[in-house]
Amino acid sequence: MSILHNIYSRKKLKLSILKKNEHRITLSFYKYFNIRNPYIFRDMIYTSFVKLNIFGRVYIAKEGINAQINILHNKISCLKKFLNKINKKFKNIHINSGLNTKQSFWMLQVKVRKQIVSDGLLNKNFDHHDTGIYVQIKNVNQMLYDPNVVFIDMRNDYEFVIGHFEHAVHVPGSTFRDQLKGIVGFLKKYKEKTLVLYCTGGIRCEKATSWLKYHNFKNVYHIQGGILNYVNESQKNNFPIKFKGKNFVFDHRMSERVSKHILGKCKTCQIDCDDYINCRRDTCHDLFIQCTVCQIKYNKYCSINCKKFDTKHPVYSIVK
C-alpha cells in the first residue's frame, strides 16, 4: 500500500533539495468545480504529485482545488497531461508562474478542507459561480487611468502594505473572511463606478466579485490570473508595469520583487523596508517587517519584550 504522507522531516527534505540544485519553478492554479469525494481525490493528487517530484501546498474541498507548487521545468508538460486526464474541468486551466526562481517549498502537503478559500459566508442562496467579468491584461493599464474605474485590492493588510497598484482602494482586513464581512458597506460609495478587483492569483476575486454581484453591484470585473498573470504577461509583451513594490506570496520566499519601490516600513525603526520575517520567539512567531540593521540589533525579535522573554526563559527559545 502506498504511503500517502511525508515520512521525512522538513529539515531533511530541505537539505536533500539544496544538494540536488535542480532547475525548478513555482506554479499556482485553482479551479472551482464539484468534487464528490475530496478524500479520494486528495489521495490521487498526492500519489501523482509524488511521482512527478512536486513540492508544495494543495487544498482540496468539495468546491474545488487550490494549489501552489514547485516543480521541475521538464515535468510541467506531464503535470498538464495529468490534470487533463483526471477531469475535463482542467482543460485550458490557467496556471500562473512565479516571478522568480527561488525555492518556494521543501515538501508536499495535500490537505482536505471545508473550502479552498475560507470565506465565512453562511448564505445558502449565494452562488459563487456567478463571477465578475475578466479584464484582459492588455486592458489593465488603460483602465487604471479611467476616472470611472476603481481598482479594489482584495488581499490582506500585510500583503497590501508592501505592494499594490497606485491609487488602489484596499478593503481592510487581516483575512479574506474579514474583508468579505465588510466589503459591501465599505464599497457602497463606489457602487455606481466600474470596479476592478485584484488579488495574487485570482482565486479570492472569484468569490469577492460574486458576493458583490449578489448584492446588486453591476459593473464588477477582476484581473484574470491576478497580479502574477499581470506582471508575467506585461513582461512578455513589453507593457509598462504599474504595480509597485513587492508581491506577497504564501511560501518560503514570502515575497517577489516587482518594482524598485519600497512601500513598507521597518516595525522597529520605521526606515523604508519591505522584508518580512517571523519573530524568533517561538510562542510569538509574529509576521512583521524588519530591516537588516534591526534584525542584527534585536536578533530577529519583533519587540524588546519578546527578546527579554526568551532571555529569561531559554527553554522556549528554539533556534530554527
Dist. CA 164–CA 224, nearest whole Å = 16
Neighbours of 45 (CB within 10 A): 22
Q: Which of 252, 6, 248, 251 is nearest to 110 (CA)?
A: 6
Residue 66, SS3 per DSSP: strand
| Phi, psi angles (nearest 5°) of residue 313 | -125, 70
Instruction: Please list the active-site residues.
Output: 199
Query: 210: Cβ–Cβ under 8 A, 6 or more apart, which residues?
Result: 126, 127, 128, 129, 130, 131, 132
- Asked if 214 and 132 count as a contact pair (C-beta separation under 8 A), the reply is no
Q: Report the length, in residues, of the chain.
A: 320
The burial of 252, by beta-carbon neighbours within 10 Å (0-12 exposed, 13-18 middle, 19 or more buried), is given as: middle
CA–CA dist 129, 209 (Å, integer): 10
Neighbours of 199 (CB within 10 A): 23
- Residue 85 in grid coordinates: 486526464
